[in-house]
Structure 1
């Protein structure tokens, strides 16, 4: 009888120990998740880039010395949370860049940020087609990242051939014209590749449509601008605005591929 009591006691103790471990793990999971949310790395109202694939975007990023959050209303009666805080907004800008699925066209006076250059390289590694136009005088001036970016075949870089200063600072992500161009280039490359069969090309899954948007403002993609200057960036998926920026980029880009019809 005593031995049975001992066995029951041991079994109860083991059950309690296992249960306590489960409770600890659950507690750790939920407290970590809550801490993550409060720290702004998940479900942060200022992390607008988290779910931007298929929705309308009207956003403002302000690089300021004051950490302030406020809400503005833009047509058609939509609330936009404006976040002013350098570290947070650097993270937010990169989240928008990382969200590119098919193409990214960048027209920038200069690019010196190592972090942004790293994200551009990662986009290319995910088969996002990247085109960059920079001012000819600033392209190779230290600490420009252009020389580094030009080493990758999936990143196309051109310097502005205009006699005037190329002072644009905008980026079009997943623009309709750029995606069409990418598909034509891909189709042309497949025709040249004798190792790609018709069956392979016809059975490939079509990518889901991406939401095109543009980022434009006073901000150069430089560490100096993000750390020390007062800058602003407007982010919008308004189709009319995206179209105008795409046309401007195309007017500056010199084609060196097969003619597109």
Structure 2
């Protein structure tokens, strides 16, 4: 065999080897890409395209008010996602959407409320027969531009300033808490028994549909409900429907709320 023939055989062998490697990589890509890439794409779509899904109220969410736009999802055991979708405009929308999702009750424990947009949403909830209770710090309640004076003008919104001697620096709200819903319907039953025409009476409060399971959740973090905080500050809010966490926040709210109505 001459040198020319040997070079031709070596070149052919190399070509076949390279082609086989290309085919192998293409097969690996097409057969394994579904396994590895689709969950990542789905997670991103879940966190940012849908924004949030409140249909089943299984919520584990983190809202970060930051200057950067970051979209990703963190998976935590057991097979739950914590959605992180950082964009000030989107996060303002998400926060208000969570508030608007209240079906029966909204309990707010907030150091400062100055956002006119959030105040407007609270008023609309009250007009839809959502029972609203608000606890605010006594020093900040009527300091401009606080919205508390405006909210107190509506009889269906109950507002109390903290009676504690220490600073009430909480920043959380409970949407459809089990204890709050139970209290609402005890008040309604008491009003009907006395035949008292109040905002909890038969004509103005809808019965809870038997076929709808209203699951509550809590939002808590560093964020005051102020435009300044949402537009300019670095803030965080954790949103969860975990029953143990929800129960602890309900207990804390009840420790601050001074009960005036006979609900037993």
Residue 155 (structure 1) shift? 0.4
Runs of 4+ in 1 over 4 A off after TM superposition: 47-50
Deviation at 1:47, TM superposition (A): 6.9
- Paired with 1:142 and 1:106, the residues of 2 have a C-alpha distance of 19
Whether contact under 8 Å (2:137, 2:162) holds in the other structure is yes
Contact 1:54–1:210 (CA under 8 A) maintained in structure 2: no
Residue in 2 that maps onto 1:213: 217
Aligned residues: 213
User: What is the TM-score of this pair, normalised by structure 2?
Assistant: 0.76
Q: 1:242 to 1:47 in 2, by over 3 A?
A: farther
- Is the partner of 1:51 in helix, strand or coil? coil
Asked if 2 retains the 8 angstrom alpha-carbon contact of 1:72 and 1:82, the reply is yes
Whose radius of gyration is greater, 1 or 2?
Answer: 2
> Residue 235 of structure 2: which of 212, 231, 239 is its match?
231
Contact 1:52–1:211 (CA<8 Å) still a contact in 2? no
Please give the per-residue CA displacement for 1:43-94, whole angstroms capped at 9, x wherever unaligned: 8633767532423110000000011111111221222321111111000000
In the alignment, does 2:246 pair up with 1:242? Answer: yes
User: How many angstroms apart in 2 are the aligned matches of 1:250 and 1:153?
Assistant: 21
CA drift at 1:241: 0.2
Alignment of 1:52-201 (within 5 A): 52-193=54-195
Quick check: 2:186–2:263 contact (8 Å CA) kept in 1?
no
Partner of 1:45, secondary structure, is helix
Deviations 1:117-157 (A, max 9, x none): 00000000100000000000000000000000000111000
**Partner SS state of residue 46, structure 1:** helix
Is the 8 Å Cα contact of residues 49 and 96 (structure 1) preserved in structure 2? no
| CA displacement, residues 25-49 of structure 1 (integer Å, 9 cap, x when unaligned) | xxxxxxxxxxxxxxxxxx8633767
3-state secondary structure, aligned to 1:81: strand
Q: Does 1:254 align with 2:251?
A: no
- Are the aligned partners of 2:106 and 2:175 in contact in 1 as well (CA < 8 Å)? yes
Q: TM-score, normalised by structure 1?
A: 0.77
Shift of 1:205: 5.4
Note the C-alpha offset of 1:238.
Answer: 0.2
| Distance of aligned partners of 1:113 and 1:183 in 2 relative to their CA distance in 1, 3 Å threshold | same
Partner Cα distance (2:82, 2:62) in 1 = 8
| Secondary structure in structure 2 of the residue aligned to 1:142 | coil
Q: Pairwise CA RMSD of aligned residues?
A: 2.1
Structure 1 residue 160: Cα displacement: 0.3
User: Does structure 1 conserve the Cα–Cα contact (< 8 Å) formed by 2:183 and 2:263?
Assistant: no
Distance 2:62 2:139 in 1: 30
CA distance 1:151–1:47, change in 2 (3 Å)? farther
Q: CA deviation digits over 1:187-207, x for unaligned, max 9?
A: 111112279xxxx89xx8542
Any gaps of 5 or more consecutive residues in structure 1? 1-42
